Amino acid sequence: MAYIDQQRDAFVSATFGLTEEQIRLTPTAGTLSLGGLVKHVTTCERGWTERMAAAPSAPTPPDTSVEEQAQSWGDDFRVTDDDTLESLLAALVAQGEVTREVLRHADLGAAVPVPRDAPWFPKDVEAWSVRWVAMHLVEELARHAGHADIIRESIDGATMYELVAAREGWPETPWLKPWRPAAELTV
């Protein structure tokens, strides 16, 4: 659980000190924004956690068809006008609490059925274990945390260690200076 928590927390650090406008920026050659990444990893974690919670059964199927799900796939990467940094992070943190609770009580060897109707899941695997799904969450969150690092650095040059230091109130040292907004640096 600690690895999942650590990777999830990277998104809180990557967005630390940003404005509503900045979480919507797409400063790299791709179309990802930090807000969109937070929204996506929350949705992704929710889906995998629902599968672990239901194991060895399948979770309640969505109200939409596989075709509708495929058409709306990118929606969880898009920040809407109703989304705020606060609401996106609150949803991420709340999902983390659900995931921790599910894993706390899970049989790690329980089978998590692979959906047969979704083309994005493998056809040659019947089930994963809860343990496999938990490790996949580490992988999924870590992959996107790396994206978040690159996007954040592209926005204002901030890197993860200085952001964590600022968030957690670490003292300045010769080798690490906690992040400060650019406006504070010019004063």
Binning the chain into helix, strand and coil, the percentages to the nearest 5 are: 60, 5, 40
In percent, the amount of the chain with pLDDT more than 90 equals 80
**What's the confidence (pLDDT) of residue 187?**
47
**Topology given in CATH for the domain delimited by 2-185:** Four Helix Bundle (Hemerythrin (Met), subunit A) (1.20.120)
Question: The whole model's pTM is what?
Answer: 0.91
Q: How far is CA 58 from the centre of its chain?
A: 23
In sequence order, the β-bridge partners of residue 113 are: 127
Centre a 10 Å sphere on the Cβ of residue 167 and count the other Cβ atoms it contains.
Answer: 15
**What's the confidence (pLDDT) of residue 184?**
64
Bond preceding residue 56 cis, omega within 30 of 0: yes
Parse the chain into domains and list their residue ranges: 2-185
Report the distance separating Cα 37 and Cα 143, nearest Å: 11
pLDDT-derived band at 74 (thresholds 50, 70, 90) equals confident
Give yes or no for a contact between 39 and 88, defined as CB atoms under 8 angstroms apart: yes
Report the distance separating Cα 34 and Cα 13, nearest Å: 11
Task: Report, as an integer, the average pLDDT of 12-24.
Answer: 98
The chain-wide mean pLDDT, for the chain, equals 93
For the four alpha carbons of 16, 77, 148 and 100, in that order, the dihedral sign comes to positive
